[in-house]
Amino acid sequence: MDVTPFTLEVPDAVLDDLYRRLETTRWPSELPGSDWDYGTNLGYVQALVEYWRTRFDWRAQEKRINAFHHYKATVDGLGIHFIHEKGKGSNPMPLVITHGWPGSFFEMYKLIPRLTDPSSHGGAPADAFDVVVPSMPGYGFSEHPRQRGMHVLKIADLWATLMTAGLGYQRFGAQGGDWGASVTNYLGFAYPNNLIGIHTTSMTRPTPYLGPGSRALSVAEQTLLEQREAWLQAEGGYSHIQGTKPQTLSYGLNDSPAGLAAWIVKSTGPGVTAMGTSRVGLPKMISSRPSPCTGSPRASTRPLGYTTRPSDTRGPCGRGSALLSRRPWPFFRRRLVGRPGSGASGPSTSNAGPRCLAVATSPLSRSRNCWPKIFGPSSAPCETDWCVEKLVCYNTHPLLVCSD
């Protein structure tokens, strides 16, 4: 695999076109007093665009982005952009970090130095990582898919190939949030011999087994499902159109940077007004998964929401997804190493068949009725000091995620 350095250099003509489009934005009307009830607030977007047009310094952001080591590689026929920063320590752990939507590799710019050089941030050199931050297909500076079928399973395959064949890491950890969490989970299941451990900040998957033999949901669990459904009904419109008719949406977002800004700002959540000033979200937006400065979303609204859904129908023991640690990174570095053949000790259960892939962190009472029953009658029992929190299936073999 040919890995080549990459430097971001946006032509002046592209910036000039951006400023022209921002200046000539045709603004919609808005119902008086509607605030954010019907979508992104008009006054907020107008202030955001004015700042973007007159005060935001793209070249400063470009310099900040280029401070990292960027590369491109062709992985399974698709051009993938990624950051690769080596750790400062005697034995850095390789770690691939995957962003979500509407985000980009740039989300990690504050995190990367802390992981690669922990001793400069109050940590120990022994906890250093070699950090790889790819742009998912259709995001940032990665190529967009040219055919159907780009979903989180495929992206996990791409990342495994990049890490092993491209960068020479036969063993590595993985982290992700949002769509990146799904990619990370699938990495853990599909490549257990390569993965040291995984860490996610989004636990929407796996979906618990609720079929025959599962225990009834508690009041709290049922309430959670109802809250999620209510959120989807009130705030999930973006997901539905991106997951069904993304091509229709792409014309407006590709042509209008103001429209793209409004779409991304609203999609970061109803609490977006708590961001403070407009300048908080804009640098991230400009240097995120759309083509910087042009406001072009390229294919970034298409590949995941549109093509992932069929893979979700294969049942609870299909190629699923799992939890992982919520503890600080040094804990991940030291503890998430209990895997077959690793020679490391890790949590276990009294059931000799399943094994623990990773360690969660929520203390669980020894007398607590733990979660495995929700995943079906085959769940393993709790040991004295460890309680199985979740059970999913990797092929036909249970994969345990334990909690101390």
Bigger pLDDT: 66 vs 304: 66
CA distance 153 to 183: 7
pLDDT at position 202: 81
Confidence tier at 207 by pLDDT (50, 70, 90)? low
Quick check: 64 pLDDT over 90? yes
Phi and psi angles of residue 69, each rounded to the nearest 5 degrees, phi first? -90, 110
CA distance 280 to 145: 30
User: Bridge partners of 360?
Assistant: 403
Quick check: 216 pLDDT over 50? yes
pLDDT tens, residue by residue, 350-402: 333 333 333 232 222 222 233 332 223 333 333 322 233 333 322 222 233 33
CA distance 93 to 175: 13
CA distance 243 to 305: 4
Burial of 272 (0-12, 13-18, 19+ CB in 10 A): middle
Looking at every residue in the chain, the average pLDDT score rounds to 73
Percent of the chain at pLDDT > 90 equals 52
Bigger pLDDT: 176 vs 326: 176
User: Bridge partners of 398?
Assistant: 393
What are the Cα distances from residue 51, in Å, to 60, 198, 292? 15, 39, 16
pLDDT at position 396: 26
Amino acid at 333: R
Do 209 and 217 touch, CB atoms closer than 8 A? no
Domains and CATH numbers, the chain: 1-317 (3.40.50.1820), 337-403 (no CATH)
For 201-234, b where at least 16 C-beta lie within 10 A, e where not — what string? Answer: ebeebbebbbeeebbeeeeeeeeeeeeeeeeeee
Return the biggest CA–CA distance within the chain.
67
Global pTM value: 0.71
Task: Determine the number of helices (DSSP H) and then strands (DSSP E) in the chain.
Answer: 13, 10
Do 83 and 133 touch, CB atoms closer than 8 A? yes
